[in-house]
């Protein structure tokens, strides 16, 4: 057996199981631990492996960081009346912005991993089991014995539009810079990182610095106007910021009236360091930055059943477009609008009809 063939056999074992230990590699190949370490060091120098985690460059996942909740949706059977009881029907599902984006991506065939926090409770176990079942790598999840899993409760009117939502998500404050340091292996090995603003200001800043250091694109997704204060003042290293017009107004600290105001606010955010900005406008479509300004696309017609998860589907399509090497933000937004329309037409937070060929079927021109 030549040295080259031993090295190649070791490489194939790692391809089959990227988490195999050096001891198991030594036993499998009849080598000493020091010899295995030497071969691994050579493969790292050759850039065929990326670091201690044996991350293969042709299989780097998209990393989603942020919330994974138990969603409760209550839909009124008629017109909502404030201050009294309303007849309604309710459903529970798995949610959370980062988790929803991860599930959309996984159902469309992308390799994806998730860093989140869950309680060591039945909800947390169910969240992780479901994520595993759809192909999301959850080994980076933070399991907390002293906290309950996150919950999001939305009240919808009879037309499926959200009236109010209540979010219990304090446990995501436990995803600190120190915790993220323990997941450095996953962050360095990611092909792209997408994070939601359920994370703390310091956690977002840590992801920014790490992504810039590791030359990994970072996409940030806003979640609400009150949490816009979690966005650092400098957006250096942010490839794309996705937010709605209320969240954009909160960022720039003023009311925004009309497309000219929105475009000016986007330029202001770009001056803070973000490469591009996408502003979702609900049924009016989306506005996105282009060199020298901004453009808008109309939303395609859709029969609204439930709007929950539509924004996360939109974000997932943008993420997958950029991950696939496309620099055409207009095309990415058209894909996002189509995926969002598919999502509002079903009752589930993530459309169950998504499949690997869905993304290829979305509009190409």
54 has pLDDT over 70:
no
For residue 133, name the pLDDT band (cuts at 50, 70, 90): very high
3 has pLDDT over 70:
no
Mean pLDDT of 137-164: 90
**pLDDT score of 289:** 97
Work out whether strand 286-290 and strand 293-297 pair parallel, antiparallel, or are unpaired.
antiparallel
Mean pLDDT of 65-79: 91
Q: What is the mean pLDDT of the chain?
A: 89
Tell me the angle at which helices 258-271 and 245-252 cross, rounded to the nearest 10 degrees.
Answer: 60
For residue 365, name the pLDDT band (cuts at 50, 70, 90): very low
- How far is 195 from 143, CA to CA, in rounded Å? 19
Q: Is 70 exposed, middle or buried (0-12, 13-18, 19+ CB in 10 A)?
A: buried
**pLDDT score of 1:** 42
- How far is 168 from 149, CA to CA, in rounded Å? 9
204, 150, 196: which is closest to 177 by C-alpha?
204
98 has pLDDT over 90:
yes
Question: Percent of the chain at pLDDT above 70?
Answer: 95
pLDDT top residue among 64 and 24: 64
Quick one: which H or E segment has residue 323?
helix 310-323
56 has pLDDT over 60:
no
Instruction: Give the per-residue SS3 of 16-51.
Output: HCCCCCHHHHHHHHCCCHHHHHHHHHHHHHCCCCEC
Among the ranges given (51-60, 142-151, 252-261), the one the predictor scored with the smallest mean pLDDT = 51-60
**pLDDT score of 213:** 92
**Contact 214/53 with Cβ under 8 angstroms?**
no
Residue 220: beta bridge partners? 195, 241
pLDDT digits (tens, 9 = 90+) for 193-250: 999 999 999 999 999 999 999 999 999 999 999 999 999 999 999 999 999 999 999 9
The structure's pTM equals: 0.80
Residue 50: beta bridge partners? 55
């Amino acid at each position: 057996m030549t040295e080259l063939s031993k090295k190649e056999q070791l490489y194939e074992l790692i391809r089959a199981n990227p988490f195999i230990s050096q001891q198991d590699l030594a036993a499998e190949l009849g080598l000493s631990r020091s010899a295995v370490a030497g071969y691994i060091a050579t493969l790292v120098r050759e850039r065929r492996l990326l670091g201690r985690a044996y991350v293969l460059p042709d299989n780097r996942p998209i990393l989603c960081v942020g919330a994974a909740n138990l969603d409760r949706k209550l839909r009124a059977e008629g017109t909502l009346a404030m201050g009294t009881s309303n007849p309604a029907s309710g459903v529970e599902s798995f949610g959370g912005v980062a988790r929803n984006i991860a599930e959309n991506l996984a159902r469309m065939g992308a390799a994806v991993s998730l860093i989140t926090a869950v309680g060591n409770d039945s909800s947390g176990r169910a969240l992780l089991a479901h994520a595993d079942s759809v192909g999301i790598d959850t080994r980076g999840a933070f399991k907390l014995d002293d906290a309950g899993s996150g919950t999001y409760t939305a009240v919808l009117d009879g037309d499926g539009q959200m009236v109010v939502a209540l979010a219990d998500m304090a446990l995501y404050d436990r995803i600190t810079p120190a915790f993220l340091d323990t997941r450095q292996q996953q962050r360095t090995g990611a092909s792209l990182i997408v994070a939601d603003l359920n994370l703390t200001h310091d956690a977002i800043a840590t992801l920014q610095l790490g992504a810039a250091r590791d030359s990994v694109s970072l996409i940030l997704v806003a979640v609400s106007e009150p949490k816009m204060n979690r966005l650092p003042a400098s957006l250096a290293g942010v490839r794309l910021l996705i937010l709605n017009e209320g969240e954009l107004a909160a960022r720039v600290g003023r009311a925004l009236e009309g497309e000219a105001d929105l475009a000016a606010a986007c330029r202001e955010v770009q001056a803070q360091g973000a490469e591009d900005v996408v502003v979702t406008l609900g049924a009016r479509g989306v506005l996105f930055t282009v060199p020298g300004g901004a453009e808008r696309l109309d939303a395609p017609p859709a029969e609204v059943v439930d709007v929950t998860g539509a924004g996360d589907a939109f974000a997932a399509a943008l993420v997958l477009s950029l991950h696939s090497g496309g620099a055409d933000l207009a095309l990415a937004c058209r894909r996002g609008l189509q995926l969002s329309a598919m999502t509002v037409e079903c009752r589930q937070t993530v459309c169950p009809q998504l499949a690997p060929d869905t993304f290829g079927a979305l509009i190409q021109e």
